[in-house]
Amino acid sequence: MDTNAALANWLEKGGRHIGQIAIAKKDDGWELRHADDAGRDDLQLYTKTADARSLANLDDASAYRALKTAPNLRHGWRLILPDVASVRNALDAFYPAMLGVHLARERGEIVPVNLRDTLARQTGMYRITQKLTDAQSQALIAKSCRLDGGCLKTILWRISPELPVNSLPAEKFTTPGGGEWPLLCHEACNILVAEARKVVKGEVKEG
């Protein structure tokens, strides 16, 4: 099943949330809006798939959102799209790769990469991240990946085969159910690796 068909199937079965976005069926197609904006009737209307990219780029304070899965999606808009293909393209802009990663995981094609393996692959200026200690790793993950203010993804990886991440609550490692499309982290992102470099170099306070 391709991504559009899988998304159509999910919507048909009542899927209505991904990250901070609520999806609703309307007479003229599908409506996306910030889930916090449920019930508001003063939202600015957008109608093009391309609008999703600009909506995803800036937070409420017009600051650039480097991490699209950070819980700082801007408020105050609604996006009306004519069909599932348009919704798919918009969601790919709001949450890049997240439709495909979930489907690949359902097919058994996602192998989580532990943090030590991710850091072992770093070269050049990021090779130094291999010196990150286990304690520094736990503290960094707790700070950067936390659901409240860090990142909405569910972590699938461990620090090493012997060492799980134990600095965040269990909900950080549990995929949501009940009509919510999961945002999955199967390998530490570039932002976390960049922060790891700063920790090793002593450029940021740990924890």
Q: HEC string of the chain?
A: CCHHHHHHHHHHCCCCEECCEEEEEECCEEEEEEHHHCCCCCCEEECCCCHHHHHHHECCCCCECCCCCCCCCCCCEEEEECCHHHHHHHHHHHCCCHHHHHHHHHCCCCCCCCHHHHHHCCCHHHHHHHHCCHHHHHHHHHHHCCCCCCCCCEECCCCECCECCCCCCHHHHCCCCCCEECCEECCCCHHHHHHHHHHHCCCCCCC
Residues that bind ligand SF4 (CB under 6 A): 69, 144-145, 150-151, 153, 155, 185, 188-189, 191-192
Least distance to ligand SF4, CB of residue 190, Å: 8
Closest CB to ligand SF4 among 79 and 115? 115
Closest CB to ligand SF4 among 37 and 59? 59
Q: Using CA atoms, how far apart are residues 73 and 35, in angstroms rounded to an integer?
A: 10
Closest CB to ligand SF4 among 22 and 168? 168
Least distance to ligand SF4, CB of residue 184, Å: 9
Closest CB to ligand SF4 among 81 and 155? 155
Least distance to ligand SF4, CB of residue 173, Å: 10
- Which structure tokens are listed for 102? 């979930």
CB-based contact 22:55 (threshold 8 Å): no
Closest CB to ligand SF4 among 71 and 179? 71
Least distance to ligand SF4, CB of residue 134, Å: 16
Least distance to ligand SF4, CB of residue 145, Å: 3
Task: Calculate the CA 175 to chain-centre distance.
Answer: 12
Closest CB to ligand SF4 among 15 and 112? 112
Least distance to ligand SF4, CB of residue 82, Å: 31
